[in-house]
């Protein structure tokens, strides 16, 4: 068959729609090519113009986020991950991404390959991954399917990360009915690289050879990007081939080989083969370098015989990279990958045509302008219809103060301590290796953020992932701003200052006007908060189509991954109470607001209410004060008030320090609001009694209210002089609650 015959075997608009393309997009493809595409070309466009790769329904709004800052070393979206300057010749690469749909169908491999993929984004830049975090959402824990998904996801994250040798140092888990069919699995990786030793995801230099390195290519993961760009349905299990299969031991070899190859100086560029596989890496690297590639698919090492061109192009088999090498230095790179017993096969070369020309057994099977495929190039951009959700007006009619104050606050406190969104995550975290690499400072001395010491330095990284989606659902603008503020607050309470964020934006179907309204307002809230905290957005991931016919769209869940710096590790702060007699001081405004609190949900059966009180300017002032107090040596412990309010905050610090506490509520304010309300902008400190006057003076100078709520005790817990038992009793309930739910009859 001649080259011309191969390229003119056209397809129909019906085929395009079956592959997830719109009729108008099929028309655009014909205009770009000047002819009807063949099936291979249409398959390439279908994955590259999918939501997962092109961000066609989100890029307009993503561009409104702050993308500049004095610490940024690359612009958002310029490389595989964000890169920020840490000083002393070091930089931090970090990113978060979703693997939601694969995890809903095959939780173990879905989660495992999500971990592997995000680590590859880090080490393709030349950075060595030093820490992993995750943000997980599941349905109600009393549901057997939820427990199945949770077991599989946690085991997948643990097995891959543990074998790969990077500690899992932090994360979050929430349980809400809206995630019953469509769980969220977001994975974050953080790595370190020396200045000048990074590698770019770019192709340049006509004649430079193009290599595929790592694992062989199989049929797993084909159309994975398309699969991620559609709703979960009852037929989704039939898409199981779209779920990739990971091998952490192969990835460990690939890590070491990649870093060694970068160190030779022989590489022009390198990119992970993630979503859309060879298609994505060849297209994005070529478009970035304003060049083209000629690729012989016959030379790609494959796992199955007789793979078709479109199968090779779209496969998302794991642990693979595309590498462009300086001409004449091929033997150096070949030697590196031979040493690590990995495939290293030249499959093509860079051209100056700007086109991607794919061949198979001597015949050209596809010919596409690279720029037409990519985000920021020819990929379509849409701005969808928005409509304010009807439920928001209903929430404004609910006033929590209309509900009676409980006669027995202890009963409410006991229920909160074992609630699945509050109770200890020990059942999960013990399945993760948090100590490999020995730099994790948070294992025995916990902080609000995870803290990793930098080798041969006084500095440490503080990192966290945060989002209370219930708040975002109540008010997308305010809830997204709160997610940024809480991430910054966790780093502040650990003695650091936030530098930049990555985000994972999990929403329902963008063609639903109410979902798109949530997305737009969440972006605005996130952007305003990031600008105020000076934490630019380095990149991240948009995951639309998280919904099902049974449950509808998930809560809007814009997860914030923030990295901060502790300049002097000796000023690192922990959350555990230190000694009896220390005073408990709340920094931030007194509030009895109970909106969107777990207390309101479980005690008064109010499923949904307005977002909790939040003032961005007050939050910034409060955090500035806490950092100054820590640096002045006036703080013994710091912990932010979040889910469960003041009581749960004090309880967690007490259990971490094996101490008790005594609290006194405020006359004239609701006792339940003071104890269990979740108003934002508040931190609980323990301080030495002799430091109270100095703390007050500094707080007054900075215009931040403070309130003395009680003191640390030996082991007794009291509220308004009422005996609440011993801290050991609370710890037993808190630590065992999640395990008991997982081991319940029928589990």
CA neighbours within 13 Å on the CB side: how many for 70?
A: 3
Nearest-angstrom CA–CA distance, 94 and 117 = 13
Instruction: Give the whole-angstrom CA distance, residue 192 versus residue 175.
Output: 33
- φ/ψ region of 296 (left if φ > 0, alpha if ψ in -120 to 50, else beta) reads beta
Q: Which residues contact 300 (CB under 8 A, 6 or more apart)?
A: 212, 217, 278, 312, 345, 347
CA pair distance 650, 309, nearest whole angstrom:
60
Which of 138, 230, 128 has its CA nearest to residue 184?
138
The CA-to-CA distance between both ends of the chain, in Å, stands at 59
Q: How many angstroms separate the CA atoms of 330 and 32, rounded? A: 35
Cα 325 to Cα 332: distance, rounded to the nearest angstrom: 10
User: Could you give the CA distance from residue 504 to residue 118 in angstroms, rounded to a whole number?
Assistant: 12
CB 51 within 8 A of CB 59: no
Q: How is residue 253 written in tokens?
A: 């070899």
Tokens 């059942």 appear where? Answer: 427
The beta strands (E) that lie in 145-250 are given as 168-175, 184-194, 209-214
Please identify which residue in the block is written with the tokens 């081991």.
743
Rounded to whole angstroms, the Cα distance separating 131 from 154 reads: 16
Pick from 452, 448, 496, 487: which is nearest to 652 by CA? 448
Cβ-Cβ contacts under 8 Å for 436 (sequence gap 6 or more): 162, 165, 166, 167
Does 604 participate in catalysis according to the annotation? no
Task: Please tell me the distance from the alpha carbon of residue 529 to that of residue 507, in angstroms, as a whole number.
Answer: 20
- How many residues belong to the chain? 747
Instruction: Look up 99 and say whether it is catalytic.
Output: yes
Find, among 97, 102, 117, the residue nearest to 321 by Cα. Answer: 117
The β-bridge partners of 260 are none
Give the separation between CA 630 and CA 491, rounded to whole angstroms: 12
Q: At what angle do helices 107-123 and 248-264 cross, to 10 degrees?
A: 10
Half-sphere exposure of 350 (CA within 13 A, CB side): 26
Token pair of 392 as six digits: 């928001």
> Which residue numbers are catalytic?
52, 99
């Amino acid at each position: 068959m001649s080259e011309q015959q191969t390229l003119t075997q056209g397809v129909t608009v019906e085929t395009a729609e079956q592959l997830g393309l719109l009729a108008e997009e099929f028309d655009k493809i014909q205009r770009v090519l000047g002819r009807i595409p063949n099936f291979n070309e249409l398959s390439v466009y279908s994955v590259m113009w999918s939501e997962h790769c092109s961000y066609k329904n989100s890029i307009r709004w993503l561009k409104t986020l702050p993308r500049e800052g004095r610490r940024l070393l690359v612009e958002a979206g310029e490389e595989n991950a964000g890169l920020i300057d840490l000083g002393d010749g070091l930089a931090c690469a970090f990113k978060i991404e979703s693997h939601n749909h694969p995890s809903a169908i095959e939780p173990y491999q879905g989660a495992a390959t999500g971990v592997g993929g995000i680590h590859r984004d880090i080490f393709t830049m030349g950075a060595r991954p030093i820490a992993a975090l995750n943000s997980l959402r599941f349905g109600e824990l009393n549901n057997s399917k939820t427990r199945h998904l949770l077991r599989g996801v946690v085991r997948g994250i643990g097995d891959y990360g543990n074998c790969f040798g990077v500690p899992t140092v932090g994360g979050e888990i929430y349980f809400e009915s809206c995630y019953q069919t469509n769980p969220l699995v977001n994975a974050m990786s953080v790595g370190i690289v020396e200045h000048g030793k990074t590698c770019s995801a770019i192709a340049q230099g006509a004649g430079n050879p193009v290599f595929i390195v790592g694992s062989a290519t199989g049929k797993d993961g084909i159309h994975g990007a398309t699969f991620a760009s559609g709703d979960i349905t009852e037929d989704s299990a039939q898409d199981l081939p779209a779920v990739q299969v990971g091998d952490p031991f192969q990835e460990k070899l690939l890590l070491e080989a990649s870093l060694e190859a970068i160190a030779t100086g022989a590489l022009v560029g390198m990119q992970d083969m993630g979503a859309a596989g060879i298609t994505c890496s060849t297209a994005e690297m070529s478009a970035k370098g304003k060049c083209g590639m000629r690729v012989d698919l016959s030379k790609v090492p494959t796992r199955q015989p007789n793979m078709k061109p479109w199968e090779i192009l779209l496969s998302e088999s794991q642990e693979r990279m595309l590498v462009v090498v300086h001409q004449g230095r091929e033997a150096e790179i070949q030697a590196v990958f031979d040493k690590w017993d990995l495939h290293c096969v030249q499959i093509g070369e860079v051209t100056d045509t700007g086109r991607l020309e794919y061949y198979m057994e001597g015949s050209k099977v596809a010919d596409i302008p690279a720029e037409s495929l990519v985000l920021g190039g020819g990929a379509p951009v849409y701005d969808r219809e928005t409509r304010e959700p009807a439920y928001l007006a209903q929430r404004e009619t609910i006033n929590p103060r209309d509900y009676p104050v409980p006669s027995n606050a202890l009963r409410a406190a006991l229920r909160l301590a074992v609630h699945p969104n509050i109770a200890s995550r020990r059942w999960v975290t013990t399945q993760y290796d948090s100590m490999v690499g020995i730099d994790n400072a948070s294992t025995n001395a916990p902080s609000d953020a995870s803290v990793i010491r930098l080798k041969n330095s006084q500095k440490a990284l503080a990192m966290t992932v945060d989002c209370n989606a219930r708040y975002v659902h109540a008010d997308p603008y305010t809830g997204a701003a709160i997610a940024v503020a809480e991430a910054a607050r966790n780093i502040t309470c650990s003695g650091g200052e936030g530098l930049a964020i990555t985000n994972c934006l999990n929403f329902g179907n963008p063609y639903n006007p109410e979902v798109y309204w949530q997305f737009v307002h969440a972006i605005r809230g996130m952007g305003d908060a990031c600008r105020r905290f000076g934490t630019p957005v380095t990149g991240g991931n948009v995951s639309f189509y998280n919904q099902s016919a049974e449950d509808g769209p998930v809560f809007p869940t814009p997860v914030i991954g923030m990295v901060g710096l502790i300049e002097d590790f000796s000023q690192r702060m922990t959350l555990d109470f230190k000694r009896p007699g220390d005073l408990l001081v709340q920094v931030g405004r007194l509030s009895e607001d109970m909106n969107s609190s777990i207390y309101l949900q479980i005690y008064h059966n109010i499923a949904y209410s307005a977002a909790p009180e939040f003032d961005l300017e007050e939050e910034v002032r409060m955090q500035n004060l806490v950092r100054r107090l820590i640096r002045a040596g006036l703080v013994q412990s710091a912990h932010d008030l979040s889910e469960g309010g003041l009581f749960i905050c004090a309880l967690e610090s007490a259990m971490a320090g094996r101490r008790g506490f005594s609290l006194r509520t405020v006359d004239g304010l609701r006792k339940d609001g003071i104890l269990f309300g979740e108003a934002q902008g508040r931190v609980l400190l323990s301080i030495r009694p002799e430091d109270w006057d100095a703390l007050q003076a500094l707080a007054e100078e900075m215009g931040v209210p403070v309130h003395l709520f009680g003191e640390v005790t030996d082991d007794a817990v009291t509220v308004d002089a009422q005996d609440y038992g011993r801290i050991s009793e609370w710890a037993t309930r808190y630590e065992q609650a999640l395990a008991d739910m997982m081991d319940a009859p029928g589990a």
